[in-house]
Chain A
Amino acid sequence: MKEMSKRTGVSFERATQKAIKQLLLIIVAFIALYPLYWLIITAFKTQADYLVNKFGLPWPIMIGNIVTALRGGRFARWFLNSTIITAGSTLAGTTIACLAAFAFAKMPFRGSNAILNFVISLMVVPPVVMIVPLFILYAQIGFTSTYQGIIVLYVGLTMPFSVYLLTNFFKTIPHDIVDSAMMDGCSHFGILWRIYVPLSAPALVTLIIVNALWIWNELLLALVFLPKDKMRTLMVGITAFRSRLNLDIPVTMAGLLLSTLPMIILYVVFQRFFIRGLTAGATKG
């Protein structure tokens, strides 16, 4: 009898503990998801509905907001700019980082370690400090409001992290493979291309995701270095979108939703890579 009550006591305690934990998880998950949920429901409200009903479900459901947000082709233009810049910077950055990391990992020379450490330490440089000098330089060489101008900046800014991540990964690839490939008469580039790149595909995917995410979402540099209206990126566009004469909040939300949708879709589909990618730096190091 006594034995039994004790057992139920323990399991009761454990059950409550579990329930509390579940509750905690649910609450935080709710907080984490709510703003996005709110963004989505608001994007489908009419302005009149929004003004009286700020947190309820939309009724009637208004698809027109998205159409309105897209009107005039400005949005499409921003989208194209963001895509070109993100794709260009990611591609160029990853390629350069591959070469550099290969050199650091497999062809060490005197002082290469010091250089590597220096490059990595550049991660702490705040981007805002580089604005003034670079802006003047850019005006002098005609780089403001150009794709190549901003791409160079993004490549440079993502370089420390990319090199750091890839060097660590390349170091885990055994040296024997390289030696035997060398014997077979493979060039350095051949080794990089035929052995390292395929072997480190997961790390590369990770890197591409991290950089693409950062560049897509970046505001400050895009704001400063792309002054031409035609050259604006999505993030700059939507920031301005709101403060102007456009006071229809649901339309603004529709615009925000569209601009963040690509990343959400990528995240939902490739969740594993996102999570691994953004945490790889730490677990490897």
Chain B
Amino acid sequence: MRKTRMFMIFFFALVLLFSITIVFAGNGEEEEGTSESVEKGPEPVELVFWWWGQQEAPGLEDWVNETVELFEKEYPHITVETVLQATENVIDDFITASAAGTPPDLQYFWNGIYHQEQVWMGYIEPLNDWIPAEELKHMYASELSNFQGKQYRAGWYLLPMTWIYNKKLFKEAGVPANMTPPKTWDEFIKVCEMLKKAGIIPIGAGFKDGWWGEHNTGHGLVQQEDHVADTTKLLVGEYKWSNPRWHEHWKRLEQLINADYINDDANSLELYPGMELLLTGKCAMTQSIGSYVPEAEKQLGVENVGVMKYPTFGIGKLAEMPIMDVQGVGISSQSKHKKEAAEFIRFMHRPDRLTAMWEMVKIFPANDTWDGEKYIEGPNLRTMWTWFQGENTAWIPNMIAWAFDSEVMHVAPQMMMTGATTDDIVKLAEEVIARWKEENPDLLESHKKWAGVK
């Protein structure tokens, strides 16, 4: 009984404590609100901005806060409320909020299908009407942000999609200089064999969460394409996966897996732990993103890290091109303050803000008027910046319906790791596509319109 009483007292003390905390936390927030809403000049406007980039670009939050602060100083009648959402926030709350009539004014969007579906539902405003064409064309958002001649996102920061390799391990394995890094598929296989003989894992990978499989498609399938719209033709069934040209990238992956060029525990690792094998010097190569390069350089030393393109085996016009993806921001079609929202996007792209983005976060701002040459240091980063300035191609997994991502691309490497063949994957791909088409006739039409495919 004594213990019961003790527990009750303990519990109610806890409850009391937290009620107090809530009251105070609540008060704190209200105070913030009232102090900011002091009226100045024209009709006060409050913009709401939802975003979730902090997770893949640590430090971006500071940049956003600073940008908002400077913006509010310059436009005293506008306040911007930024809300950092969680990436693993699994249901698209922009869609549900839009359907409910309560969307934010500004929203961070991934590329391609991750915002096109919202475009097709009419939830996103074309930027052409709000940002002068001369400026908009430099806010690089890639061709995947366009729909029927309008641009729906302004670029924010770039994601060069790259492979990274460890020069020191290449040397240890005796890889000759002309194959550092390998450029063709034959060279690639030779290098893998040398590394394997030297007791080094050639390629580090983590298949468990599926993203590796998506990356593999992004680096591999694109080499067979003449235009990114070929991806859509595969999706809508105009091209068949059974055509060797369109499943070659899985054949090559199968070859790498069967020759044991990939770590044996890939199925119990996720994408990032797989990449980490490179950082700890366990593997010689890995597929990665540009923003991971500085981390690799920090761990291994700049002189030991190199960036490379996935070695070429493809026959398409895009086979040799570097790949550039880009995260962006758009305006809700229901926003009451589209002009101010556009103003904020333009502010994000002012030269001083672009430079600050690079200096604070070490990510490439998505604007081709920014003078990167002047600020970017180090051979790898400079190389990737030239990819952006020269000819490049989009990240094609962003053109594919999610059902295909999760049911085919994500599981393909996992299945191959345990004995499935390319033929099995092709069969699966055809089935998934057939089902997806029947289940989503409306999306099928929109995909066709998007890619300009009949």
Contact = CB atoms under 8 A, between A and B. Distances in A.
Contact of B86 (A80, A83, A136, A227): A227
A239 B87 CA distance: 12
A91 B17 CA distance: 13
B55 A244 contact: yes
Given A135-B96, A244-B272, A272-B3, A224 B90 contact: yes
B209 interface: yes
Given A201-B4, A205-B7, A236 B21 contact: no
Interface residues of B, number: 42
Contacts of B88: 223, 236, 239-240, 243
Given A51-B280, A136-B99, A140-B101, A228 B90 contact: no
Residue from B8, B96, B272 with most neighbouring chain A CB atoms (10 Å): B96
Contacts, number: 95
B118 to A, nearest CB: 14
Contacts of A273: 3-4, 7
Interface in B267-316: 270, 272-273, 276, 279-280, 295
A239 B295 CA distance: 23
Nearest to A227: B89
Given A205-B4, A240-B86, A139 B93 contact: yes
Size category, A interface? 35 or more
A229 B99 CA distance: 22
B4 A147 contact: no
Interface string B83-109: 111111111010011011110000000
B21 A228 contact: no
Interface string A223-254: 11001111010001001100111010000000
A241 B84 CA distance: 16
Residue from B4, B91, B102, B270 with most neighbouring chain A CB atoms (10 Å): B91
A59 B25 CA distance: 41
A223 B96 contact: no
A136 B11 CA distance: 35
4 closest A-B pairs by beta carbon, nearest first, are: A227-B89, A139-B100, A140-B100, A229-B84
Interface of A: 51, 80, 83-84, 87-88, 91, 131, 135-136, 139-140, 142, 144, 147, 201-202, 204-205, 208, 223-224, 227-230, 232, 236, 239-240, 243-245, 247, 270, 272-273
Given A230-B83, A244-B55, 14 more contacts: A84-B22, A139-B93, A139-B96, A139-B99, A140-B100, A142-B102, A147-B22, A208-B11, A229-B86, A240-B86, A240-B88, A245-B295, A247-B276, A273-B4
